[in-house]
Amino acid sequence: MNILVFNSGSSSVKTRLFDMPSERLIASCQVEKIGQDDATFSDGKNQTIIPAPDHTAAIAYLCNHLDISPDDIQAVGHRVVQGGEKFIEATCITPEIEREIDALKTFAPLHTPPNMAGIRAGQTIIPNAMHVAVFDTAFHQTMPEYAYRYAIPTSYYTQDHIRRYGFHGTSHRYVSERATQMLDHPFTGITCHLGNGCSITAIKDGQSIDTSMGFTPLEGVAMGTRSGDIDPAVVLNLARKLGIEKTDHLLNRESGLLGLSEKSNDLRELLAFANKGDAKSQLALNVFTYRIKKYIGSYLAVLGQIDGIIFTGGIGENSPDIRLCILANLEPLGIHLNPTQNAACMGQEATLSTETSSIKIFVIPTDEERLIARETYRLASV
């Protein structure tokens, strides 16, 4: 069965074509800068400027490049960031389901519109395939109520559905399932998805029981441009001074590593600046690693005995320096990093703990599109 996966952002679409159930990757490509004059297609080898005024045009171009007829694609999997409380697993997209996903855009105004644009474009270009929505939030629907509820009046939860939802669920689920395979029993531990967006998840017997992101992806650790955890009174103070829209932009687009360093949200650039003695870049790195360390410590307290800690995402998989800073001085907790193995690990699956470490340290590259393909195949093959 040919399964096509779409990951649609506000100005980009990434796609991967899988032969299922073997999971053989047939092709991978993407379009960026949708809606701009310099929209760009790339397939890992070549890069071309193309006409892509909207998602429909971008997806049509991708399908043409894949050199496969839409009639030969049996199912299409779509990444959807916000599934609310209703969608606890992957779901076949019907007109009613589409309306329900669209209604959730108030919870994820930056993510749901491009997700919906991708779904509608995919249905237009590949009308005869089954279309499946795979939700980032679904993996975290196993959190207990005391973990996902905010301490605000109950009516705001029951009527307005304000609660912690968590995100990056497909990534946390993928790496925890891979760890389960490696350990030969359900994984209990902490997964650290570290990229421009970052989230930490506590997993018990393969199920999410707490995660750092909340009602939106703004909560949690400091990120590339997001502030992460902040006193709500600061938000109120900023809103009085700047207004709601400017405050929203400041906290989501101008904060985090960028705001602290005043130079970049790219961790690689900040490491280079810090190595040259730039104090603000070093402070940004210190805040970043310190807050991740705090989440690891708190989740150790929540979980008790754990199998391991997993690093994934662009930073988690490729930055030995950041892993070293996060795990420094955690030896009394049974976490012992092998510095030689850590320094050598750049993007490949590896175990980085010493033989004496009671808690294993893993790097497991994430593959959200592969998990989406698995979920899509599961529904399409029934």
| Catalytic residue annotation | 136
Distance CA 220, CA 227 (A): 8
Distance CA 167, CA 327 (A): 23
The count of residues in the chain is 382
Burial of residue 333, with CB atoms counted within 10 A of its CB: 0-12 exposed, 13-18 middle, 19 or more buried: middle
Contact 78, 122 (CB under 8 A): yes
Residue 332 gets which letter from DSSP? G
C-alpha distances out from residue 127 to 55, 88, 130, 133, 372, Å: 15, 26, 8, 15, 19
Distance CA 325, CA 371 (A): 30
The stretches of the chain forming alpha helices (DSSP H) are: 55-65, 95-103, 112-125, 145-148, 155-158, 169-183, 232-242, 244-253, 256-261, 267-275, 279-303, 313-318, 320-327, 339-344, 368-380
Nearest residue to 4 (alpha-carbon basis) of 25, 14, 18: 18
C-alpha distances out from residue 145 to 32, 110, 156, 163, 279, Å: 39, 26, 15, 9, 42
Query: In the sheet where 189-194 sits, what is the strand order?
Result: 207-211, 198-204, 189-194, 308-312, 360-363, 350-351
Distance CA 341, CA 362 (A): 11
